[in-house]
Structures are given as structure tokens and as C-alpha cells.
Structure 1
Amino acid sequence: MPTKLTVLFAPAYGLSRLNASIALAEELIARGHRAVFAIDQAYRGQVVKRGIQELLHSLPEQVDRDAKDADDWHQYVANNAGALKGDSLEIAGGYCVQQFDRQLAECRALDEHYRSVVDIIRPDVIVVNSYVCAPALVGSGIPWVNLISCTPLLALNDQTLPPPFSGLPFKASIDDWHRYRHQFDDKFAGIQQTINEWYSAAGVGAQLADRQLVLQSPHLNIYVYPKVLDYYSGNTLLANNWLRVDSLVASTTGSQPFELPEKFRGKVGKLVLINMGRVGSGDLALMNKLVAHLTNSEHRFIVVTGSLTDKLVLPDNMWGQSYVSHVSVLPKVDLLITNGNNQSVSEAISYSKPVIVLPLFGEHFESGQRVKELALGLTLCPYTCSMTSLVASVDALVDDKYLHKRLSLIGKYMENSGENQKAVNLLESICNK
């Protein structure tokens, strides 16, 4: 057993990043290490019940998020709905650039706080899970790990793979990749320049390389992506400071056990979880459409209602709640309908569940294309799909016995792969160099 380490985690705002970070922290705690989370006050109490120390922060008013409560968020989504109606490149150059800018502003506002946290905690290693890495964390002189629970394509920056946020097929024309990538790079060039200028002014030795948006750690980079979805073949050799893990799924510690709603007991039909993420679940027009399309389905649906809990009217074959824990619900369902968030798709496959991806922006298009071309699910446009196509897709996937058998084998492999332990081994090793 190596010396007990203190590991500081700094996940960006968002449940997906938080949950992946918790899963890695639990592996470290099991080995006797100490985990400390620097997280937004919105997640107060989420990690302490797992034996993790929390250090809370909040953003200054001028860079605070657009919505502080459900009504504000619902209005924010409604105001921005038009930005999600184009093709993947239009959405990347508009909405995704806006979101990247916001995360950069948040990271700037938190940099001094992170500096204080590092001084107080004196960690042996820092784990960052964010598109934008704060200089106080990556320029501290302390070994740091880049945990990538979002799209791997953006972080890998590999020109031999499909461009990020595109949803282009793996076997598409290279010319199609290059055309998209050229325009994508132009749209994000200003952000890359701003980050590099910030790093230079802060004395961070590293800079984003050409066409790069996510800083790579010289110590260790861990990307979360199931082997069955991975773009690289088994013969591909990654650099020594890169590791892929199938999934990082938090334990059920502290989570409320999920009990089948009373209205579903005794009823026939498969069980389906619908979780469209914070943005999708805040889009009343979109959620009303999905509910209407599935109202007459023979199956039962658990709907994550997000900020629309008091506004969404659900039929008899549906039950909703603002939030449900994936680790508690996924083992009990037959299918996940999702926006295509990378963490959610990885969790579903780890629990041997097929997915229907209804992509909204960014990495969602990648997830949809990947599960489609590897026959692990289907993808539909959330705004234009017909009732017939959505109902038929649900019926096809819940009744596909061959797919469920295949996913069962994949899930068992992921459970026993030992990759998470390999990640902890590497994390420990960089502290002993």
C-alpha cells in the first residue's frame, strides 16, 4: 500500500462530471486515500455521505449562471431553444461556443478560490474534470490528472478520428471530416487564443496546441468511454500518460433506493427511463412532444422532469420526478432514452441497457452516431421525429433479444475489466515519481 494520498478533485459544474469524479474518488477511498472535492454549493451534501470532504464555492453575481431556480431555467431554455434547431456545425458554432465561453468565465472567477484551496489542502495530486483548466490547478507544480468524462474526441485532438461535436460517421469521407473541422476550428479559434493568453499571463508553462481546446496533462489523462464504443482498435498504442476506462459509475451509497411507482405495479409493458438532461428536461415544448408521442405506447415510462415538474402533465403510462439517480434506476429498466450525454450513455451500457439518443448539442451527436453505427441503439432528431418513428424505435429495442444478450455480455466485461483499478494504480504512481 503506497503512502496515503490527499487527492483534490475539481469537477466543473454539472452532475455528469460530478458523478464520474465521485466514482473515481470512491476507488481511491477504498485504498485508504483521502478525497477532497472543490464543488459548487448547489451540490452541498452530495459527496460527504460517501466519505468525501467538500469545499464549497459560489460564483460572483456577474458570472453566475443564467438561472438560479426552476422558473428562471425554464425561461432560459425557452429563450435559447432556437439555437438548438440547426445542424451540428451551426449548433457547435453558436450554442456550444457560448457554453464554452461561460465555462471559461466561471473558471476565471474561481481561479483564486482554487489557489486558496490548494494552499489549504496541500494535495498530492489534483484531478480536473473540466473543458477549461484553471491555472491555479494545472500550474501549481503539483501532479495533475485530466479526467475526461465528456466527449473523448475534443480532448484527444486526433486528426485521424471524426471531428468533435460533428456526429459524422467513423467511416465517413476524410474530406467531410476536414471540411467540418476547418469550420469548427475557425469558430473556436477565439476561445483557444483567450485561454492561451490567460495561461501565459498566469505563468502556466503549458499552452493549447494547434486545434486543441482541452489542455492535456503531462502526468495522466483518463478518458471515460466503453471499449465497445471506442474509436481506437485494441492494437492502438496510446501514449504512456493516456488511459481509457470503460465507465466511472458511482456506487449507490447515499442514494435513495428506487421503488417501482404504485401506478405501474401490476401493469404490463417494458420499463423505459427518459432523461433528456438539464437543457432537454427544461424545454417544455420538446418534453410535451415526447410525452404526446409516447402516450399510447404499451410500455411504462419514468420521466426525469427537471425544472418542469409542475408544468409537465404525464399520462397513465408515465411517472415523473425532477431527478432520479441513474445508478438506482438503470438496473431496473429495459431502455434509456437520453440526449446522448457521454456519462449517461456509458452508464447505460455498463448496466447492459440499449439507448435511444435524441441529440441536442455537442457530444450528443457523437453518442448518437456511435451507438447507431455499432448497433447498440438508435438515434433520432428530437425536434422532427414522428410519433411512428419514436414508438417503433422503442418497440424494436426493448424486444430485441439478441441485442439484450449482447449488451449483457458487454456489461459483464465492463464490470470485471479492472480498468478503474488500473486508473488508481497510475494515479498513485505519478505521486511516487
Structure 2
Amino acid sequence: MLEKHIDTVVVGAGQAGLSASEHLTRYGCPHVILEQHSIGESWRNDRWDSLVSNGPAWHDRLPTLEIPGVGAQDFATAKQLVAYLELYAKNIAAPVRTGIQVRRVQRLVGKRGFSVETSEGTITCRNIIAASGTMRTPRQSTLIPKSKDILQLHSCEYRNPDQLNPGATLVVGSGSSGTQIAVELMVSGRTVYLSLGQNMRPPRSYRGMDFAWWSSVLGMWDATPIEGQTHTTIAVSGAHISQTIDYRKLNAMGMRLVGQTSGFENGNVVFRNTLKGSIDYSNLKYLESLKLADEYIMRNGLDLPDDPDAWYVPPITNDEMYPIRRLNLKDDNIRNIIWSHGFQLKYDWIDVDEALKDDGSPIHTYGISPQAGLYFLGLPWQINRSSSFLWGEWNDAAFIAKTIWYRGNYWKYSNPEKG
């Protein structure tokens, strides 16, 4: 049975919710974590079979626990990360209650706090931390009509090449997920078309140091959001250790490249004439990152080996010079489409005035809602670029937990008669 009242309810038992629990415990804040499914659900059931983390284990983990059985320079599999989060929850004695769905959260009338309607009854609390994850509701596309002849999957539904129909595959989205899936399908012997948008492709490693190390020392993870700035996807892979994603090299290996997917007409998928511009942009940002790394090495007097091969950029491809603007599903034998264009924020269980924008995304400052007692965790760019990553969510959780503790003590000592 759930308690009738508890100070703080954390919704979601992924890395964000568990991080919040660790910090709340340190501050002595009573809380419970309610999880509809299982600990680490998105790693458990929303990833493809061969997925590994995009950073080495020394980096892609929570700061207070190393990943057992995974070398510091190795890349943890999704199964290893699920086991890791379960162990982490056990080590911090996280008060997780699984199999409980939070259906509705409303403000209490005439008093501080919230009513939380769950699948096991209604409880009240003073604080809510929405840590239900940003990768739980796939962004669905209705661009191409459903057909029994064409298998359409979101990247979170893809598992392995054997799942697909015989024939060619169009992968829409060239960030880390889309590119990794496209490479896996190409290696399996399939014809693959990859629809590219604008993104950054950092070096997997440079001068003996991993991309994760460079991102940290160069302050990439500390970058803060700029109003009006468009989010640019990072294309990096841990599946091919020490190999940088390079679209022109993939093209030379047999992968076909097309621009952004823009429409569907008379059985034809239509693409914008953006391919060359997207690749030029990714190459420009790649070379800029190498330059910044060299400047950092010189400025700090580091003794790191030269890496001249990293500066090589392959020549322009035929797909860029003579771009494919249409693919006919029948004539080009496109039997599979994988949509790797992200997820949408969904907080339809939060029924609190002025907590959400019209599109359903949260109104917040660094995860703090203007509605007292409501907090968000794990949002992209919540505080900085690292906010939606394993280690970044832990840091953001510390800020949220401290805010809850401070506000609780302020209320207690300024309103002693109200408790």
C-alpha cells in the first residue's frame, strides 16, 4: 500500500529519478519513486539489440558508482546499463515502487501541495519531480500513409535487421541513433538510404583522447541554451570504437545519402536539396573541434601524440553533386522506413494550471516550475547541454533536491504554525 501522504513524489525510475532519490536522501527529504514499468525502462525495452552507450564507461555513468564488469574505456551495452541502474537503486536504498502508474496530478484546494492519482489509489504530497524521461513518447510521423507492404518503425521500435522486410530501407534522421541503425543495416547487406538533417559529428577520438574527454575539457557540456537557438543533433557512436562518423566514408561503403525528408507525392518520398549543405556544415564543425583541441593542447602544454589523419575530409560524393530528390517506394524497392527523428515531451498527467505550454512542454527555469512544488528533471538543455545525459541529470538532480530542501526549511521556520 502507498502512504497517504509523503513530502515528495518522484515520477520515473530511470537515471533522472534515481539521481533525484540519492540527493533527496542526502538532504533528509522523505520521498517515494513511482514507476509505471521497471527501473531503467527505456534502456530495457526501447532500444535496439546492439546498442551501446555513446561514451566510455569512465564517463557515461553516475558519479557515485562505477559500472561493474565494464572497463573504463569500454562502452556499456543497454543490458549492462539496466543492471547498473538496478544496482545503483539498491545501493542508495531508493524507495522505488514499480508497476504504479501516475494518472493525474492536481493542486490541493486551499492548501499547499498536490493530489496524486495513481493506479493504486490517491496520495498527497508537497512536491512533485517529473522525471519520467524524454525518450518515452516517440515522435510519430504521418507523412507516409500506412501500408501492409511498407514496414514503418520509430527507432525505439527497431531491434535488429531480421525484424525488417526484404528490400531497401530508408532511415530518416542522421543523429547518433539513425546513423548507427543505418550502419548496422548496411553491414548486414541491405540497401540503405540515410536522410540527413543538420548535425554535428565530433571526432570519436583525437590525439589519443576520447570525444567525451574533449567535450568536457573544452566546456561543451557546460554550454547553456541561447534563446532562439535551434538544437543541433550530435552524431557520435560507441558501436565502432575509435571510429568517427563520416557520411562521405559511409557513402563510399555503399550507403546512399539523401537530404531532409520533406513530403510524399504519388508513391514518391520527396527530399529537400539540403544534402551538400548538411555535410558541409558537419565537416566544418568537425574541423573546428580539432582546431579547438589543438589550441587547448598548446595552451596547457599537454604532451599528446599528433593525429594528422584526423584532418582528412573525403571529397564530395556523387550523391551530393547529383542529389536524389525522390524515391519511389515501389520502383526503388523501399520496403522499410525507420523514423529516427526524436521524441516528444509528454506530461498529460500533470493537470496544473500554467505548468505546461500549449505544445505540452514544461514551463520552467532550470527545471523549477513557476507553480511552487513542481519540478522537472532530465529535460534537454534543462541547465546546460549535459542535462539530458546520465551524468548531467545527476548534477541537475542535486540542484533540484537542494531547492526542495531549502524551500522546505524556509516554509517550516517562517510558518511554524503551519508545519
TM-score interval (norm. to shorter): under 0.3
Between structures 1 and 2, the one with greater strand share: 2
Report which of the two structures shows the higher radius of gyration computed on alpha carbons: 2
Structure-1-length-normalised TM-score: 0.25
Structure-2-length-normalised TM-score: 0.25
